[in-house]
Amino acid sequence: MPKPISSLLTFSPAIRNYVWGGQSLLSLVGPNVARDGKPISEIWSLYEGNPVTNAEFTGRTLAEIVTEYQNEILGELTVSKGNKRFPLLIKLLDCASWLSLQVHPNNEQALQLEGLNFIGKTEAWHILNAEPDAHLIAGIKAGTSIETLHAAIGNETILDLVEYHKVQNDDTIFVPAGTIHALGPGLLIYEVQQTSDLTYRIFDWNRPQNNGRVLHIEKSTAVTDPLSQGIIFHHQKTGGPATSLVKCPYFHLEKLSGTQERDTKGLSFHALTVTQGEARVSSLGSDVVLRKFDSVLVPAVSGKYRIDGVFQILCSSVSE
């Protein structure tokens, strides 16, 4: 019988060097990576493939320890929803240029198009920093016929059909599966999503289709919902120590600020990422100090835990 979990969990993040990335996340990578000059597009701060960097689990991946401690880490509610894997992926994205115009399948479509062990991808973005004229794309213009939309998938005419949105710091955008979308230049983003890397590219700004960056015309056509616009919550004001930003069947995203006590109630893990300041998280007889962009996983079995400091934290969990 494995010994009980006795600590919070920290991880070594994964780095993605896509063509659209910038330099804002260099502080999170090692000096050798920083020196090579490649753009840092995404930091996968907390996902099932990350190796643990503390306690008795050091070197093992989150996926491995979830297999051994499913209920303790995921929680009663998470497991009751049928989750046997860690169900979320937490990212930081630095958008120096437009990301591809893309769409994600839902769970049923992922199973049909990709096979067993694939799930859909519903996601939410929280704007950490937006340059003055930063925009993103979410949805299709009202009144666009399905025939017109399908004819435009895969070519530049799609840009005449999409909805552009100006965004600012602290906006939150909910992007259900089936929504055509793209992040624009000048955005630093926190993203929470289902544990899925299924992306169907519709248009990639005439970049060469190489190094895996191909278009997915048939699959994009199959999964796009022309009525899905996404939902944008502009500059939500914080109310008290915890503010709910977005909630859906797959995740609940909250913004935390100021010293406080929290409680997983054994229902779900809490994935914490500091976006401003510094915080000390205490639970299970252990303390972890988090600085800007650091993350920690509070296992569901933790129950009550405490956060001290002057900070802003984004907390992702599984929705009740």
Does residue 235 surpass a pLDDT of 80? no
- Give residue 304's domain range: 242-317
Does residue 144 surpass a pLDDT of 90? yes
The answer to whether residue 112 sits within a structural domain is yes
Same domain, 194 and 100: yes
Same domain, 185 and 90: yes
Does residue 213 surpass a pLDDT of 90? no
Residues 59, 11: contact at Cβ < 8 Å?
Answer: no
Residues 45, 90: contact at Cβ < 8 Å?
Answer: yes
Same domain, 107 and 216: yes
Whole-angstrom distance, CA of residue 86 vs CA of residue 270: 12
CB atoms within 10 A of CB 261: 11
Does residue 43 surpass a pLDDT of 90? yes
The last residue of a domain, from among 178, 205, 233: 233
pLDDT tier for residue 237 given thresholds of 50, 70 and 90:
low
Please give the average per-residue pLDDT across 218-235, as a whole number: 92
Whole-angstrom distance, CA of residue 136 vs CA of residue 115: 31
Q: Kindly report the CATH number assigned to the domain that includes residue 263.
A: 2.60.120.10
What does the pLDDT read at residue 33? 52
The answer to whether residue 109 sits within a structural domain is yes
Residues 276, 129: contact at Cβ < 8 Å?
Answer: no
The answer to whether residue 187 sits within a structural domain is yes
- pLDDT, one tens digit per residue, over 151-194 is 999 999 999 999 999 999 999 999 999 999 999 999 999 999 99
The answer to whether residue 143 sits within a structural domain is yes
- pLDDT, one tens digit per residue, over 116-128 is 989 999 999 999 9
Does residue 69 surpass a pLDDT of 70? yes
Written as six digits, the tokens of 50 are: 């990350």
Which has more pLDDT, 21 or 27?
Answer: 21
The last residue of a domain, from among 174, 202, 233: 233
The answer to whether residue 247 sits within a structural domain is yes
Same domain, 303 and 181: no
What does the pLDDT read at residue 276? 95
pLDDT tier for residue 3 given thresholds of 50, 70 and 90:
low
Measuring CA to CA, which residue among 166, 182, 192, 154 is closest to residue 269?
A: 192
Same domain, 227 and 297: no
pLDDT tier for residue 221 given thresholds of 50, 70 and 90:
very high
Residues 260, 282: contact at Cβ < 8 Å?
Answer: no
Same domain, 112 and 222: yes
Does residue 63 surpass a pLDDT of 90? yes
Does residue 252 surpass a pLDDT of 90? yes
The last residue of a domain, from among 233, 256, 283: 233
pLDDT tier for residue 30 given thresholds of 50, 70 and 90:
low
| H helices present in 41-93, as ranges | 62-68, 70-74, 76-80
Whole-angstrom distance, CA of residue 305 vs CA of residue 88: 21
What pTM was estimated for this model as a whole?
Answer: 0.95
What is the percent of the chain where pLDDT is above 90? Answer: 82
Please give the average per-residue pLDDT across 128-156, as a whole number: 95
The answer to whether residue 6 sits within a structural domain is no
**E strand intervals along 76-210:** 88-95, 101-103, 123-130, 135-140, 162-166, 172-175, 181-183, 187-194, 200-203
- pLDDT, one tens digit per residue, over 85-112 is 999 999 999 999 999 999 999 999 999 9
What does the pLDDT read at residue 35? 46
Same domain, 227 and 248: no
Mean pLDDT score across all residues of the chain: 92
275-311 as b/e: b if 16+ CB within 10 A: beeebebbbbebebebebbbbbbbbbbbeebebbbeb
Same domain, 73 and 101: yes
The answer to whether residue 312 sits within a structural domain is yes
What does the pLDDT read at residue 209? 83
Does residue 1 surpass a pLDDT of 70? no
Same domain, 224 and 255: no
Same domain, 209 and 66: yes
Same domain, 73 and 168: yes
The answer to whether residue 116 sits within a structural domain is yes
Measuring CA to CA, which residue among 199, 210, 231 is closest to residue 99?
A: 199
Total number of domains in the chain: 2
Please give the average per-residue pLDDT across 210-219, as a whole number: 87
Same domain, 212 and 296: no
